[in-house]
Structure 1
Amino acid sequence: MTLNTAESLVRPVFPFTAIIGQEEMKLALILNVIDPTIGGVMIMGDRGTGKSTTIRAIADLLPEIEVIVDDSFNSHPSNIELMSEESKQAFEDDIELSTKQIKVPMVDLPLGATEDRVCGTIDIEKALKDGVKTFEPGLLAKANRGILYVDEVNLLDDHLVDLLLDSAASGWNTVEREGISIRHPARFVLVGSGNPEEGELRPQLLDRFGMHAEIRTVKDPILRVQIVEQRSQFDHSSQKLINSYTVQQEELKERIIQAQDRLSSVEISYDLKVKISQVCSELNVDGLRGDIVTNRAAIAFAAYQRKKDVTIEDIEKVITLCLRHRLRKDPLESIDSGEKVLKVFKNIFI
């Protein structure tokens, strides 16, 4: 009789480095992991193109994080901005806090989720009767310092999408009931995916996602066979496939860690910043979010490429991902494929 250990019960995850094609989606995910302030990524594409597999694979690839034991918010042991109120108070009172290492949280948000399930709830009765704030954490609390994945985000209620985007942008979630307010950190990479055939997001909501990756079904028969065979191998003997990609996984993990460390020292020249804003202006991009995200993504890509300074090539690699979804003015108009963005980019930069 085989005993089930905790390790053997964990569902195996397809290795990120084994995923064939879909380079645009993979790059967008890597850059958001390097710099979460990019603002997440919206992945739109055909059914059965590996969206969910790739997102779970990037979460599994990331190095473990240190959290405070028995804390519902994955609080950081020393960074006050990433602590719950209780842990922050204990830290300021010099109370020694036990810590442990956990895998980066990967939280799935179901389509039928309610606002209470997402944001958490306050026990009003206990608060009024005993004068104690009792908070039942929601999915935003569980996703702190991790990845929050919303499949079919285009079918999610707009009100909930607004809540998610607000938390992702501010890094905090505030719940208010009957004059009682509770606030906790909610720093996460927001990843949304969907099929354009089932409807688009409103332009106002699309603009709030840092990047927009388009994926298509692979057309090359040789590659299709390769993908099918690889998937069959994983289904038949997952551990064997995972073991065969151990070296590549570790190399990519180390490269991401180094890019995160290098991020603050990468420089982008004033001249390149002006040209990025010139592209945004010529494309008639509303607001300044496009300018900000393109700058951040170019810096993250340069860090990933082990550079100290951003080059024109770095900007060219990310600018379509950052701007293609910000061009629409009419909700019924389809998203530009990126050709318009690249055309304007080349006119200004080259």
Structure 2
Amino acid sequence: MTNRVDVVVIGGGQAGLAAGYHLRRRGLDFTVLDADPAPGGSWQHMWDSLHLFSPAEHSSLPGRLMPAQAGETYPDAGHVVDYLADYEKRYDLPVQHGTRVDAVRRDGERLLVEADTGTWRTRAVISATGTWSRPFLPAVPGRSAFAGRQLHTVNYHSPADFTDQHVIVVGGGNSGAQIAADLALDGQVKVTWVTQRSPRFLADDIDGRALFDVATARRRALDAGRDDAGGVASLGDIVAVPPVRAARDAGLLVARPMFARLTAEGVRWADGSHADADAVIWCTGFRPALAHLAPLNLRSARGHIPTDGTRALGEPRLHLLGYGDWTGPASATLIGVGRPARDAAHEIAALCAHN
């Protein structure tokens, strides 16, 4: 049996919920298909000590302010999960958890969404699957030879898993700095932090509020034809959240250059020096989870799908939401996804009115 709706949203995390909020306001018939068995999106899979970059009131989805967390200026991941679960329930969003989408295909005047629980024929699709399910691991020489544990950011939980071990943390972004700081401040783990280039910390008074403002200003400047001032990337790579500041100021967060190769026992640098290691944590980023869109044949050579705003240039019935600045300024953040979600719903409503 094929289900029929106006819109299918793929992904029930923050981007999918923001899309659902605006689709509901437009009076469209829609469903949200989410692979996770429970609400909370990728936040339910984060490491134990993770906190937001911004206070709760600056980390909210459209229509519902995130309540403050008692005793915390910057809420933790568990608080975000609770907020998203409440948001889903408050707006009675039709999220079908535990439903994995395999493919989106063209079917004449409609799109066909094939999932492990059924098939949906729809006028439009919003893909909001994010990146968490597609971690990136670099092709470093000797990676298969290393006899210790290798993990990605997605597999890290807490320092308790590495007591009395030497851990190499790879990555000069926020995840690398935060996980290296988490391990170093524990005091029971030896940590070596390695980065491709010297770490660039943002000023201590910069948090997610300022980053959102900078990203938005950059997008407006580009849309107006003005020069690119660099946006967030021009400020630095690492937000100095309290644990990162504490580890940095204590001299515990000093990066070494990237090693040349892995060996069976550890890592070797270009100068021939070697360090034994029990584990390597790859904080090396993610790629957009877009495999379900492969039948549409829309990807560019860079792996992205070219868009005008959120709308795919090669398929006007498809919108992409929450993958990064290429689908809306700061659209991969809680506070930033609301505006592109609203714009996508507006375009889809116009499409449905004429189709």
What is the TM-score of this pair, normalised by structure 2? 0.29
What is the TM-score of this pair, normalised by structure 1? 0.29
Greater helix share, 1 or 2? 1
